[in-house]
Structure 1
Amino acid sequence: MKKLVLFYNPVSGHAAFKNKLDWMIEAFQRRGILLLLYRTKKEGNEEFASFVRAVQPDGILAAGGDGTVHECVNLMVRHGLNIPIGIIGSGTSNDFATYLKINEDMERYFDCIADGKTKRMDLGRVGETYFINVASAGMMTGIAHEVDARLKNALGKMAYYIRGIGELPKFHAVPLRISADERRYELEAFLFVVINSAVVGSMRNVARDVSVTDGKLDLLAIRKCGLPSLMSITADLIAGRPVSEKEQVLHLQAADFYIESAEPMESDLDGEAGPMLPLRIETVPAAISVFYEG
């Protein structure tokens, strides 16, 4: 009988996932798979690697938002757990799962997992920390770190929007120096994101020609511009239209980025607080095996 470890966050996505545990256990049992549960803790989960080695599963399922997937992937890579991972998007933000269209038909995805269908996918790396979807800095970046967990569970994505409205008077552009595979750029920008997938902040198709298997990451930086242009970019993002070709947006593809700021800026890695700039952001090609049919 196959075994899978379910790495689940009990408080993600309105803290409702734990009510689905019996459904998931039954769904995998029906497919001849034993589901072994690992409940995450806020204060750290380093013992997860020992748990996995003890039970020797055929794969791991990460259930939660992007932050939970981020933690699970980092534990796996750091401890050399080279087995497939499946993603059960059940958090406030499920950008990577949305990009892969995993949540659209969970029974079909469970079949994919049971059949052992996998695909190697890239990761990004900042220092010793890996990210599966996005590294960013600039206006709005700190909001995800400042939203109270209770408010996020009660209001979901609306909590971020409410917090963001309060930050509008503080928005300003920052001088950046960017090296992308040794090509150099200087600009004033409101923010930048370095992305692995084309879904960021629940906004789909933010750029064209983005792939999780091309050995490269994509940088998008919104240049300093007037309010009408900024509102136009925002409207396109909300509507799911790519902004990578807009005049006010710098779009670069590279395997390696080095980004410096003239002002102190905190980064964000998959919605979790990252280091201060400057950042070296590297692509790690085909770093993980993901249960995926496509």
Structure 2
Amino acid sequence: MRARLIYNPTSGKEALKKSIVDILNVMEQAGYEASAFATTPEPNSAKKEAKRAALDGFELVVAAGGDGTINEVINGIAGLEKRPKLAIIPGGTTNDFARALRIPRDNFVEAAKVILKNQTIHSDIGKAGETYFMNIAAGGYLTELTYEVPSHLKSLFGYLAYLVKGAEMLPRVKPIEMKLEYDDGVYEGKASMFFLGLTNSIGGFEKISPDAQLDDGKFSLIIVKTANVIEIMHLVALMINGGKHVNDPRIIYVKTSKLYADAIDPDFRMMINLDGEYGGDAPMTFENLKQHIEIYANLDEIPESAVSGEAEKASDEFIKQVEKLTNEDIDGDGKISNED
């Protein structure tokens, strides 16, 4: 059996490169004839190599890098009729998909050793138009947060960078007139965002879609109907506090195998976010490809809920910021005062 390691040499502040020999050794221990490919700055480098390896008959493709690298590898193999197994070695900032699979995120070699356990799951994959995604799809003003956090801040401060940028952006959030058609209904009205989740781990938090399953063929669809600053902050606090936001009347939370999304105003551009990156504009149709890719996972740990230290720090910081807010800090339109 042959396995191809596709790795981003810049991941983990270039620390990943130092572990390549050890990772290849683990792949050999698992019974694979292993080789490696370092991605280049060329667009879709990881995607092209993953597709080439799959078409060449490799039984396993190992994606090593951040969520962007893993997304590319999945896009390289998901459209093929015969797909190799996939393994993941996380080396990015958030590593949401690896977190959901309970793959070690602080040691590249230990992540590779998940292959030795020989435990796999047939994971759902999302499809948006002709593009595939592994974790999230979203649209609306709140999703602009992902684009506006500079990459160097993501690397330095992780989830806290999103938190700080999010607090800065909240006063600018506006509702969008959306049409969202899903399995059991249609929503037409104002919303600050819609969100489709494949796993329970988004941005390091594991309560956004608290009952998400990796292989049930369903997205978790969240529609945030409010654009009021304090209400949004309250919803996030509910989310952090055990996923209680899903029962709030300002939220629509349903399971669906597909979604059609569009902005009702034809002159409004609604950008779509796929796995943290710009993925095109609405209108767009999303489809859940049930159990589409066989992925090595740490099945012994998947039933347990785990939150990283960084995420806990970010959660604590956010709750402190919510507690600081007083009625005097907010005007009648829900905008935060700039006096402090």
In the superposition, the TM-score normalised over structure 2's length comes to 0.76
Contact residue 14 and residue 156 of structure 1 kept, 8 A: no
Structure 2 gap segments, 5+ residues each: 300-340
Higher relative contact order (CA 8 A, sep 6+): 1
Are 2:207 and 1:210 aligned? no
Please tell me the residue identity of whatever aligns with 1:8: Y
Which deviates more from structure 2 when the two are superposed, residues 89-98 or residues 37-46?
A: 37-46
Q: Specify whether residues 110 and 40 from structure 1 end up closer, same or farther in structure 2 by C-alpha distance, changes over 3 A only.
A: closer
Secondary structure of the 1:243 match is: helix
For residues 18 and 146 of structure 2, the distance between their equivalents in structure 1, rounded to whole angstroms, comes to 25
Match of 2:19 in 1: 20
For residues 242 and 14 of structure 1, the distance between their equivalents in structure 2, rounded to whole angstroms, comes to 37
For residues 100 and 49 of structure 2, the distance between their equivalents in structure 1, rounded to whole angstroms, comes to 30
Structure 1 gap segments, 5+ residues each: none
For residues 20 and 257 of structure 2, the distance between their equivalents in structure 1, rounded to whole angstroms, comes to 39
Q: Which residue of the other structure, out of 239, 245, 248, is the alignment partner of 2:247?
A: 245
Contact residue 173 and residue 188 of structure 1 kept, 8 A: yes
For residues 268 and 217 of structure 1, the distance between their equivalents in structure 2, rounded to whole angstroms, comes to 15
Which aligned pairs between 1:111-130 and structure 2 lie closer than 5 A? Answer: 112-114=114-116, 116-130=118-132
Looking at secondary structure, tell me which structure has more strand per residue: 1
Contact residue 190 and residue 222 of structure 1 kept, 8 A: yes
For residues 123 and 22 of structure 1, the distance between their equivalents in structure 2, rounded to whole angstroms, comes to 30
Are 2:235 and 1:230 aligned? no
Match of 1:71 in 2: 72
For residues 113 and 65 of structure 2, the distance between their equivalents in structure 1, rounded to whole angstroms, comes to 20
Secondary structure of the 1:257 match is: strand
Report sequence identity in percent.
27
For residues 277 and 214 of structure 2, the distance between their equivalents in structure 1, rounded to whole angstroms, comes to 20
Match of 1:169 in 2: 171
Match of 2:158 in 1: 156
CA RMSD of aligned residues (A): 2.6
Which deviates more from structure 2 when the two are superposed, residues 247-256 or residues 31-40?
A: 31-40
Q: Which residue of the other structure, out of 188, 200, 203, is the alignment partner of 1:201?
A: 203
Please tell me the residue identity of whatever aligns with 1:73: I
For residues 242 and 95 of structure 2, the distance between their equivalents in structure 1, rounded to whole angstroms, comes to 16
Offset of 1:103 from its aligned partner? 1.8
Offset of 1:222 from its aligned partner? 1.3
For residues 148 and 79 of structure 2, the distance between their equivalents in structure 1, rounded to whole angstroms, comes to 27
Deviations 1:47-98 (A, max 9, x none): 44334545x4331111122221111000012344511101112211211111
Please tell me the residue identity of whatever aligns with 1:280: T
For residues 65 and 191 of structure 1, the distance between their equivalents in structure 2, rounded to whole angstroms, comes to 25
Offset of 1:196 from its aligned partner? 0.8
Offset of 1:242 from its aligned partner? 4.5
For residues 13 and 240 of structure 1, the distance between their equivalents in structure 2, rounded to whole angstroms, comes to 31
Please tell me the residue identity of whatever aligns with 1:89: P
